[in-house]
Structure 1
Amino acid sequence: MTLPAASQHRLPVELAGMPLALTLVESSSTVALRKQAAQLLQEHLGLVMAECLYVEGSGRWLGRDSDDLQFDCADFNHPYAHAIRSGKPLTLSVADARIRLDHPGFQSQLAALKGALQLHVLPLRAVDGPREWLGALLLVGQPTILAALANDPGMVAFEALLCRLWSRLAREQGERQRSQVLKDSLAKLNDGARRQTLADQLADDLLGQSSVMQILRRHVIRAAETNLAVLLQGDTGTGKDCVARAIHQFSGRSSGPFMAINCAAIPEALLESELFGHSKGAFSGADHAREGLISQADGGTLFLDEIGDMPLALQAKLLRVLESGRYRPLGASEERCADLRLVAATHQPLREQIKQQRFRADLYYRLGQFPITVPPLSERRDDIAQLAQSFIADFCRREGRDEIGITPAALRLLHRREYPGNVRELKNIVDYACAMTPEGADIDAYSLPGEQQDTASPQPSATTTPHGLPLADDIDDLRQALRDVESAIIRQRLCRFGGNRAQAAQSLGLPKRTLAHKCQLLELDTK
């Protein structure tokens, strides 16, 4: 389009016609629309400046797409507030604007303009739906050009088209944003549901419904989704090896090998060869080449238990494997590559070992990309019954025994015990009790290791008579004292006869039914 002569400056009707209308319609966003509209007006009208500002979501501020400058719609130190508040166009000279209006941001817009030029601020309002303010159009040019725009039908049509397209695009963008928010929310819900399903499946391997175990299973699933190195910390016997295997089984490497080694169980001289392998003749006795665990774990997971016992020299070599994936077998002339995921475990306080210069700080931070703490049994006592039942079932499978039950009295004693050895100690106790329980009988309190001494007849002491009875002066509840003595005697006889109530009853001169009744009253096998 050819720009009209200065004496004939009017907006041509075709400005709102097909060519320019198509240019606006093709805008894919409100930002692109505002930029296109300002550019069309400036180019086809010969304006010095044309800018389209927008009212942000709250309706309080006018913003510019070109920078983060904002204009408060309630601040009348700039012309946009006057136009928006009155709902009418505003025209004034640059010179007048510099004198009357002192908004810093607005004055920066005028800095490069000549005082003889005029400003024309046109408020833009939605034409469809709610009559909300969309923004404002700033036009700067010669007074003759701006005067010709006052009632020009082409400009009126252009303004209407601009507002209509702006409203439509704003609605579409809002719908797209809401749709994306909904999509993201559903994705998060689905992702959360998927992780919870996996965590529930993991409950078959990592037993327990306590809150700490539910948290642990969720952490395991999160760790399994990454390739980060995992550092398992926790007391001895908490089951860190089971957690390591679960991470592997639920990871993308589950089809690959799972190789494990206890760094504390292998002499320092052999540990390097076990990990890195060696070539033939690398040392005395190396009659043939051997692959190390790092090579065997390629494509899978390498589990290093008791990493805190690894020698410092070997720690440096392991760090290089983690950082570069490269290693050199003992006696080899060439390096090899391994793609593996490392899971390490320790019960030792590695931070303290770092202070004592017994563990490398750089290796610690490289190992601890995804730290997980495995809780001790003292923090999950509610899981003891489920763990005990699982260990009993496992014992019966291993030993070919018929199903063995466990009495509530035995469970109560298990629940009250302390477990310095954690889950491993509980398993050993249950295995012993299973072995001590006769065929066809249930595990009772007297079958548990340590309970025989605890439930035997009281030994004479400063507070008991030579027959093991409490001193009369120490008894303040005769009924309870008699119950305690009777309970101790019955436990001792049951222990002597391996839980056989018939023999125990006969030795005590009681009918079997009477003994069973006393066991019930004394809570030896009931809740």
Structure 2
Amino acid sequence: MMLPAADTPSAESTALSAELAAMPLALTLVESRSTSELRPRAAQLLQRHLGLALAECLYIEGSGRWLGRDGDDGQFDCSDFNHPYAHVIRSGKALTLSVADARTRLDHATFQQQVAAMGASLYLHIRPLRAADAEREWLGVMLLVSTQTRLSQLADDPGMAAFDALLCRLWARLAREQGERQRSRVLQDSLAKLNDDARRQALADQLGDELLGHSSAMQALRRHVVRAAETNLAVLLQGETGTGKDRVARAIHQLSARSKGPFMAINCAAIPEALLESELFGHAKGAFSGADQAREGLIRQADGGTLFLDEIGDMPLALQAKLLRVLESGRYRPLGASEERCADLRLVAATHQPLREQIRDRQFRADLYYRLGQFPLALPPLSERRDDIAMLAQSFITDFCEREARDEMGITPAALRLLYRRDYPGNVRELKNVIDYACAMTPQGADIDAYLLPGEQTPNEQASSVSAEDAGFALPDDIDDLRQALRDVESAIIRQRLRRFGGNRAQVAESLGLPKRTLAHKCQLLELDTK
């Protein structure tokens, strides 16, 4: 059975029978794979088979507040009664009105734009669409535009009701399936994110052996290093001298996809300006006086790997322009060479200098700065991670004992307290030097004590201080705890004697008229050692 042509309709021929809704039209609707495909397909079927001026399905968005239109940015607020869709949704009943009435009685910009091209003799028929389940979930509304006669025929037509029912059933089923797929995707994305987070955290934990520290600043740094290693972006490390920029650069390389490639490093401040270009780009034979043979530069040697440029803030301006070209095009020309070469490398640069200030002073190129800083990393100074001092100190002690084949040694609480109170303009590098010196000065079988840490005084000032201590002690006037004051004086005397006799306790005990056992007990009580 087929529908009659739309141009010669009759009351009998225009009726959509339930049989028609369940067969060819139904098959077309069932083939829809999503609600966004189903709605325009249903509207096209109605418009084509019933000869309507317009048919359109509007859908209620997830929030339940807005009616949307497929392929259109226009939206209708369900609580705004300046358009007829709100009346249909609120009442749950179909509504028919003329285009002329709609133009004069309703004041809604988007709706007026929708009906502007319609003939004034046409009518709008708006039908509510709801799911057939127990919850009767709102799906949207259907707009039919035709003559009053045609719409009247459709209003009570059982075939049209059957078509609505089929449309709503398919719509609700597809919406549920799409919701389930969306939830599945969200779950998969969440699981993937959890797996990625777990993997990144595991890598960050592995970095704990290279980038020591339990402080929040170091934990954040390790996480950023892992993120940087996942990309091929240029990394700019900025931080004070001695914060470990070279270690961070190596960690980025080792975690990256280029880890099997070479890691080449150069300190731009340590190479004379005249030689730096040759070190980086290489040179051809005879390029300059003394170039008896061709030489590959670090850019060539780092091909397929990582090039680390430390103290890049000291690079000459002319060389900065050539480096920028390498970063942008991957091409460079060795000194004296006639042909260009290609380089595939990842650049990590570091500096302790304020590059923005250098840019203002025209000592550093702004374009190079922004190209280098694709992934900026700030390294925390030791003053912002004092909780790591004990761990760092013990690690440096272990390294020293392994290098110098010394017996294991520890560090006393008194020495640690002094380390915590110190300023470290040289950061971790300075702390390492302090520990190395103290290890070298510590007698075999002993632990690092406070008196063995290098002070900030000059030898003359130390001698002057010892003489003052020998002469006597200036007691403060505000003593409110005599026992503690006596302990402080006793501690100062013993420290002074330990310095004088180079840590020889037998001589210290003899000079103070104490048995060696008593001196050892006092050192323990005063936390001058851990024995």
Query: Is this a same-fold pair by TM over 0.5?
Result: yes
Q: Which residue of 2 aligns with 1:136?
A: 141
Whole-angstrom CA distance in 1 between matches of 2:99 and 2:482: 107
Structure 1 window deviating more from structure 2 (62-71 vs 347-356): it is 62-71
Alpha-carbon displacement from aligned partner over 1:178-229 (angstroms, at most 9, x marks no partner):
2222222222222222111111110110000011111111111111111111
Query: Which letter maps to 2:415?
Result: A
Q: Structure 1 residues 196, 341: closer, same or farther in 2, change over 3 A?
A: same
Gap regions ≥5 residues in structure 1: none
> What's the offset of the Cα at 1:479?
4.9
Are 1:507 and 2:508 an aligned pair? no
Q: Which residue of 1 aligns with 2:282?
A: 277
Whole-angstrom CA distance in 2 between matches of 1:16 and 1:455: 104
Contact 2:447 2:530 in 1 (8 A): no
Q: Which residue of 1 aligns with 2:46?
A: 41
Q: Which residue of 1 aligns with 2:23?
A: 18
Are 1:413 and 2:414 an aligned pair? no
Q: Percent identity at matched positions?
A: 80
Contact 1:230 1:342 in 2 (8 A): yes
Q: Structure 1 residues 48, 518: closer, same or farther in 2, change over 3 A?
A: same
Q: Structure 1 residues 102, 521: closer, same or farther in 2, change over 3 A?
A: closer
Gap regions ≥5 residues in structure 2: none
Are 1:385 and 2:390 an aligned pair? yes
Are 1:212 and 2:244 an aligned pair? no
Are 1:165 and 2:166 an aligned pair? no
Are 1:151 and 2:156 an aligned pair? yes
> What's the offset of the Cα at 1:440?
1.3
Structure 1 window deviating more from structure 2 (218-227 vs 498-507): it is 498-507
Whole-angstrom CA distance in 2 between matches of 1:86 and 1:492: 96
Equivalent in 40, 57, 79 of residue 84 of structure 2: 79
Q: Secondary structure at the match of 1:123?
A: strand
> What's the offset of the Cα at 1:441?
1.3
Whole-angstrom CA distance in 2 between matches of 1:211 and 1:337: 41
Aligned counterparts, 1:96-135, within 5 A: 96-135=101-140
Whole-angstrom CA distance in 2 between matches of 1:169 and 1:476: 83
Whole-angstrom CA distance in 1 between matches of 2:397 and 2:107: 85
Q: Which residue of 1 aligns with 2:9?
A: 6
Are 1:516 and 2:517 an aligned pair? no
Whole-angstrom CA distance in 2 between matches of 1:457 and 1:486: 20
> What's the offset of the Cα at 1:82?
2.7
Contact 2:412 2:527 in 1 (8 A): no
Are 1:314 and 2:319 an aligned pair? yes
Q: Which residue of 2 aligns with 1:396?
A: 401
Q: Secondary structure at the match of 2:171?
A: helix
Q: Structure 1 residues 472, 383: closer, same or farther in 2, change over 3 A?
A: closer
> What's the offset of the Cα at 1:105?
2.4
Q: Structure 1 residues 460, 434: closer, same or farther in 2, change over 3 A?
A: closer
> What's the offset of the Cα at 1:138?
1.0
Contact 1:459 1:468 in 2 (8 A): no
> What's the offset of the Cα at 1:376?
0.9
How large is the Cα RMSD of the aligned pairs?
Answer: 2.3
With the length of structure 1 as denominator, give the TM-score of the two structures.
Answer: 0.94
Contact 1:41 1:47 in 2 (8 A): yes
Equivalent in 463, 472, 479 of residue 468 of structure 1: 472
Whole-angstrom CA distance in 2 between matches of 1:451 and 1:154: 98
Q: Which residue of 1 aligns with 2:356?
A: 351
Query: Which letter maps to 2:315?
Result: M
> What's the offset of the Cα at 1:90?
2.0
Alpha-carbon displacement from aligned partner over 1:233-282 (angstroms, at most 9, x marks no partner):
11111111111111111111111110000011111111110000011111
Query: Which letter maps to 2:505?
Result: R
Equivalent in 486, 489, 493 of residue 489 of structure 1: 493
Structure 1 window deviating more from structure 2 (507-516 vs 194-203): it is 507-516
User: What is the total number of aligned residue pairs between the two structures?
Assistant: 524
Query: Which letter maps to 2:433?
Result: N
Query: Which letter maps to 1:142?
Result: T
Alpha-carbon displacement from aligned partner over 1:451-493 (angstroms, at most 9, x marks no partner):
89798884567xx8x8133268787766555444432332233
Q: Structure 1 residues 302, 28: closer, same or farther in 2, change over 3 A?
A: same
Alpha-carbon displacement from aligned partner over 1:114-170 (angstroms, at most 9, x marks no partner):
222222211111112311221111111133322222332321211110010011111
Aligned counterparts, 1:49-60, within 5 A: 49-60=54-65
With the length of structure 2 as denominator, give the TM-score of the two structures.
Answer: 0.93
Whole-angstrom CA distance in 2 between matches of 1:276 and 1:129: 76
Whole-angstrom CA distance in 1 between matches of 2:402 and 2:526: 33
